[in-house]
Amino acid sequence: MIATVKIDTYLRNEITHLKSAYHTAPFKVAEIREDKNQAVLELVLMSASPGILDGDCYDFEITVQENCQLEFSTQSYQRIFTMEGSASQNMKVEVGKNGFFKYLPHPTVPHKNSNYKATNTINLEENATLIWGEILTCGRKLKAEHFEFTEFQNKTAIYKKGKLVLFENLYMNPSEINPLELGQLEGFTHQASLIYFNEKIELKLVKQQIDAFLSAEENLLFGTSETNGYGLIIKILHHNSEKLFLLLKELTQIFSNEVQPVTANF
């Protein structure tokens, strides 16, 4: 199945509104913002499909116009079903000057013999803020399915005003490399990635707060790094997807803390 979702925004009276939302089956985009006077537009992606099936090809285009603010979420876990061939997804995001985009989808669950490749291309204009999170599980853990998928790849490229500042390539092929080995996930079954770009705050202070917060948590490994283009990337290893999903939400609250604004030099 080939499916497309295109989203565009506009600003009116300092409130972000949905300018257009084009979607084909099985997808639908719905606004979930309860307070219509809230500045941030909240959208959820709903799907009539149980998950990603053999031969599926998804194409997403999201445009956050200048000064607009958009939070985009998903309805449920993204399941990648058993397949003979493969499936793919391509997402392109444009965040305009002083724009804000937050994307925290539910965890991805690759089933046995699934083969999936995703490509994310994100362009941030001047003073644009990005919160981008992803969680990958080992599979259907409750059915004793641990890393029995064929192949999984998720590539994310982030540009600041057209210049590449971060490239992440998560590639797993369990038949070639055991994900549980030393230097891989080291015994953990779930992994989370959270990327944050914001030119207006003191990233070193935010990093200290994140390190302190995650250090107080048990049964996980984590690492935080500053990136080019005035950003942070956070990696977390755990054994539970719900816990990781909750942690990413809590980390975004740290991003919202008031810190001393700075001027970034590139």
Reduce the secondary structure of 196-220 to three states and give it as a string.
EECCCCCHHHHHHHHHHHHHCCCCC
Question: How far is 130 from 218, CA to CA, in rounded Å?
Answer: 28
The DSSP letter of residue 247 is: H
Residue 217 clears pLDDT 60, i.e. is over it: yes
CA distance 42 to 82: 32
Tell me the per-residue pLDDT of 189-216, one tens digit each, with 9 for 90 and over: 999 999 999 998 888 999 999 999 999 9
In this structure, of 54-63, 113-122, 248-257, the range with the lowest mean pLDDT score is 248-257
Q: Per-residue confidence at 63, pLDDT binned at 50, 70, 90? A: very high
Is residue 35 pLDDT above 80, yes or no? yes
* CA distances for 133 relative to 21, 179, 192, angstroms: 22, 21, 7
Residue ranges of domains in the chain: 2-255
DSSP string for residues in 108-175:
EEEPTT-EEEEEEEEEE-TT-EEEEEEEE--S-GGGT--S--SEEEEEEEEEETTEEEEEEEEEE-TT
pLDDT digits (tens, 9 = 90+) for 228-247: 999 999 999 999 999 999 99
**Class of residue 2 by CB neighbours under 10 A (exposed 0-12, middle 13-18, buried 19+):** exposed
Report which of 227, 225, 208 is spatially closest to residue 266, judged by C-alpha positions: 227
CA nearest neighbour of 80 among 143, 157, 136, 25? 136
pLDDT for the residue 181: 87
Given pLDDT bands bounded at 50, 70 and 90, which one contains residue 249? very high
